[in-house]
Amino acid sequence: MRDILGHSLNFQYELLLPEIIIAITATLVVGADAFRNELRLGRRILPWLSVIGLVAALVVSLLWIDTQRNFARLITIDNYTTFFRVLFTATAIVVIVGSHEYVERHIGHIGEFYALILLSTVGAIYMAAARDLLTAYVAIEVLSFSLYVAVSLARNDPRSGEAALKYTLLGGVASAMLLYGLSLLYGVAGSTQYTEISGALAAGTGGMTLPLILGLVLIVAGLGFKASAVPFHMYTPDAYEGAPLPITAYISATSKAAVLALFLRWFSGPLLPALPDWQWMVALIAVLTMGLGNLVALQQRNIKRLLAYSSIGQVGYMLMAITTVSVVSASALLLHIGGYLVTNLAVFMAVIAFYNRTGTEEISGFRGLAQTNPYLALVITAGMFSLGGMPLLAGFLTKFILFTAAADGGFLWLATFAVIMSTVSLYYYLQVIKQMYLYQPDGDARRWRLSPTGYLTTAVLLAGTVVLGVYATPLYTLADRATRVLFV
């Protein structure tokens, strides 16, 4: 089949099989929840049904390693897509397995909760896989709308509804800016296809420099909001604090990684010929994001708000790779995203287990945790040190490679600032560790244990944090193979 311009269209739906499986699983989860009384099903089957669907999608995704094909000139199936398919699917599995007890206690609409996680994963995958501007925009909205609703699902917590309202209103403004920017880009390039945009910009803008720069400003602003980059971060602390903890974990992991995946796909491909026009914008935003994220985190007393500002700072580090876009910096970015997701999820799964026991989100509530649950204190400590970039943990090695790539790309000053901000971040991470190890626990000081799934998720993530800190070669090799397809 061909489109109106005569291009041959490939409609091999098996290329989209992982996402089809996830979408069908979401439908089954909602149906099982709606008719659980008639089917005599318990609610505990919902997370495991979700996990089965995700595992099936993960296995099928591996069939497309070293494949270079496209679906209807809208979706690209290559190593880059496969990398993020595996990463996002694995993240959803970890979040669901590690938080099902929290969901049972604190979420009112359990079926919808798991379905939204599944559908947002599909949106995240297609953000990385899209090869057309409108396809990417639809994928962004699938992810965004799923998260708008998911943030509001906390039972008996007024902060949840308020956070969802702020997130939705500001997200709508950001989506409008992004879409307007894409329309200007279409006006300059005459196409929504990545390859054709790249060719048009490489041939020259034909006196349309001003619309191009305005479009780039709006695109960077729209994506900056989705990534929580400064000065478009204003919703992030409230959304993190008001959302259910598993959704906070999911936003900090999948949502951030999906936007960075789209950033890299766009700025290494269709927008690369316009590098001089946007490079300074991304560099400026990277500096502001690293600075404000880490400095404001110093004042936080709530663990969710602290991790919110920590994630903002991390986005600043990742934007350095976009600023110095190349095969080396792109590989470094994917490596850092992988290490960040493992580390951040380790911290969040531990915080969820702690909240299930204590019901507190305040950093002062972690007093004496090393006495009441030494294992959980160890997981949080390793995660915090890794986020801060301490040696022998994932964060040190991935940051070192990322910062080195930025310096080699001609932005030594940016890498130097990142090192300074990374050092500053150790202070607020140490505040949590100090509470756990240097103070006596309040009230009941008896030791307590995690659930089996709590031990499983935290142990796997802790092991990943340590292994990536010592031997990250396999992940870097995969990242390098994934990013090379962007620069062909």
* Per-residue confidence band for 7, with pLDDT thresholds at 50, 70 and 90: low
Residue 8 belongs to some domain of the structure: no
Residue 3 belongs to some domain of the structure: no
- What gap in Å lies between CA 461 and CA 98, rounded to an integer? 11
Residue 360 belongs to some domain of the structure: yes
Residue 165: exposed, middle, or buried by beta-carbon count in 10 A (0-12, 13-18, 19+)?
Answer: middle
- What gap in Å lies between CA 261 and CA 238, rounded to an integer? 24
Q: Look at residue 346 and tell me whether its pLDDT is greater than 90.
A: yes
Residue 300 belongs to some domain of the structure: yes
Structural domain for 388, as ranges: 13-487
Residue 357 belongs to some domain of the structure: yes
Mean pLDDT of the chain: 90
pLDDT digits (tens, 9 = 90+) for 196-229: 999 999 887 767 888 999 999 999 999 999 998 9
Residue 440: exposed, middle, or buried by beta-carbon count in 10 A (0-12, 13-18, 19+)?
Answer: exposed
pLDDT digits (tens, 9 = 90+) for 241-281: 888 999 999 999 999 999 999 999 999 989 999 889 899 99
pLDDT digits (tens, 9 = 90+) for 27-50: 999 999 888 777 777 778 899 999
Tell me, letter by letter, the H, E, C secondary structure of 31-80. HHHHCHHHHCCCCCHHHHHHHHHHHHHHHHHHHHCCCCEEECCCEEECHH
Residue 4 belongs to some domain of the structure: no
Q: Which residue has the tokens 């030594």?
A: 412
0.75 surpassed by pTM: yes
Residue 324 belongs to some domain of the structure: yes
The total domain count for the chain is 1
Average pLDDT over residues 404-425: 93
> Do residues 227 and 260 touch, judged by C-beta distance below 8 A?
yes
Residue 6 belongs to some domain of the structure: no
Residues of the chain with pLDDT > 90: what percent? 65
